[in-house]
Structure 1
């Protein structure tokens, strides 16, 4: 006989939010961390062709301590998605006028989606033109992003400061479910699945 130690499971219904696509960015080369604005992103099943995080597999790193570093695993980090609102909060907490999405390697910048960084895994983002991406999880702040902010602002404390301040404000990582081209200025339909806490 199994005893339920957790009590009643709360189930929250799915819902939809309408957002706006502010900017799209890509890395100029696979060796570059920072991204740069582009006219459009041509999303394939592997992500953004030629981008640093493109591909179906990647080596495990510090975010996956249950694997030895370098172990090949499925990539759920094809895209980095951030929000204008979350980055403004990060910048204010760091005493900076801005934290530009390009500095931290973002691919997609969205506005009008409250607390975008808390979108649960399984959330789907539907873009004008038909492309669909699936949220895999939160994007943890990393030293590369902090170092880029420090370089760009001249604030030496930014490297460590970003990692402390941007936790749960760094956006989400996602993978492509349906390929297509996306361009800044379009609508984004955010479909949040039914959620429950186990």
Structure 2
């Protein structure tokens, strides 16, 4: 493995990996706001989870993509949100609250058995029994909306909406889009396929 910045040197490379994890919970945001509720099974179409507030082939540009005018229709690569229990526990410890629950912050999938879930690279695929598959778009950057939801669930702790943004950095989970339609269910295994990673430098 080379760490040289020479233009013609081989880039730092990590080989592709495959491993299994567990889909602990499946949730849907089909009410007011972005909070989710448990659903034992979720149908997946190429637009996402039918009835979920984040479903659709396109979505309006927002503050996460400031290079487009606000409201511009763009491809929806944020159809589902994935979180990990150990990362939510770490956020709670940083905030000094008893817990941070997936449904408070709009998570669709709770995945167990993946160390540093949030750090999985874009392009990682999740393959579920029956054939459904998701493609990871990237890290879900924490925002004040999720922080406000945590604050509402933990009254009496001042400043949680702002504190959440810092406490959840690198721990907030991932966003993904449906690559192959199907149905997924809580309590089943999932195969993760992490692509070869090369450290790009200019």
TM range, normalised to the smaller chain?
over 0.9
- Correspondence list, 1:105-144, <5 A: 105-144=106-145
Q: Which residue number corresponds to residue 10 of structure 1?
A: 12
Q: Which residue number corresponds to residue 51 of structure 2?
A: 50
Q: Which residue number corresponds to residue 176 of structure 1?
A: 178
Question: 1:138 touches 1:171 (CA, 8 Å); kept in 2?
Answer: yes
The CA deviation at 1:156 is 3.1
Q: Secondary structure at the match of 2:99?
A: coil
Number of residue-to-residue matches in the alignment: 195
Q: Which residue number corresponds to residue 64 of structure 2?
A: 63
Q: Which residue number corresponds to residue 41 of structure 2?
A: 40
Q: Which residue number corresponds to residue 151 of structure 1?
A: 152
TM-score w.r.t. length of structure 2:
0.92
Q: Where does structure 2 lack aligned partners over 5 or more consecutive residues? A: none
The CA deviation at 1:67 is 0.9
Q: Which residue number corresponds to residue 19 of structure 1?
A: 21
Q: CA RMSD in A?
A: 1.5
Q: After TM superposition, what 4+ stretches of structure 1 lie above 3 angstroms from structure 2? A: 3-8
TM-score w.r.t. length of structure 1:
0.94
Give the distance between the partners of 2:68 and 2:8, measured in 1 at CA: 29
Q: Where does structure 1 lack aligned partners over 5 or more consecutive residues? A: none
The CA deviation at 1:18 is 1.2
Deviating more after overlay: 169-178 vs 155-164: 155-164
The CA deviation at 1:59 is 0.8
The CA deviation at 1:15 is 0.3
- Correspondence list, 1:85-100, <5 A: 85-100=86-101
The CA deviation at 1:142 is 1.2
Question: 1:33 touches 1:144 (CA, 8 Å); kept in 2?
Answer: no
Q: Secondary structure at the match of 2:103?
A: helix
Give the distance between the partners of 1:171 and 1:61, measured in 2 at CA: 19
Give the distance between the partners of 1:33 and 1:162, measured in 2 at CA: 16
Give the distance between the partners of 1:96 and 1:189, measured in 2 at CA: 32
Q: Which residue number corresponds to residue 169 of structure 2?
A: 167
